[in-house]
Amino acid sequence: MPGPGREKQPDAAWRPSRRPQNPLGNALAPLLPQQTNGDPFPSLILEVGHSQSIPNLIGIRDRMLSPQTAINVFVLIAYNRNSTRQSDTWYMQVAVRDYFAPPSPPGMHIPAFVVVYETPKIGGRYPKVNSPLAQGTEVYDLDAGHFYDPEPIPNLNPPLPASFRINIEQIRSTIFNCRRP
């Protein structure tokens, strides 16, 4: 179960293989929270909502990025189907753990995260699915360090890229093109 709360699996989760940088391993690894089955938490969670409200999905984000987990990235995609394709809306958010947040007070579990990307509202409303994104906003580059923190990025040959590209326009167009009548 990735995160405190009711028994629910994320739509997708990813965690890199542990690759120690030195023979001693990572001294912080034993301090990281683990899932109830003893497995490490994934680094990235993807949650896609079709029938869930955005506030419900944000509540899931808050639980997943709480101090009780070791999840570093939460990607939220919401699709709001309306009576016609032209009125369908969507929302996307990428939030990362706030590594510098002070610890929560005893007995409280305050989520510590930073929203690094979200689809901008247009006139106070979520954007239409049938409206392409503005030029220059089609992709978001997420620092690859988020997938490994608190471990360093492994030294591989060839090296890992410095960032992971999320093609936001491709996500929008997939939602638009795959809508059933």
Where exactly are the structural domains of the chain?
12-177
pLDDT, average across residues 15-41? 63
Residues 132-149 pLDDT 10s: 888 888 999 999 989 888
Q: Which residues of 115-130 are buried (b: 16+ CB within 10 A; e: fewer)?
A: eebebeeeeeebbbbb
Residue spans of alpha helices (H) in the chain: 54-64, 168-177
pLDDT, average across residues 64-75? 88
Residue 88 has pLDDT above 80, yes or no: yes
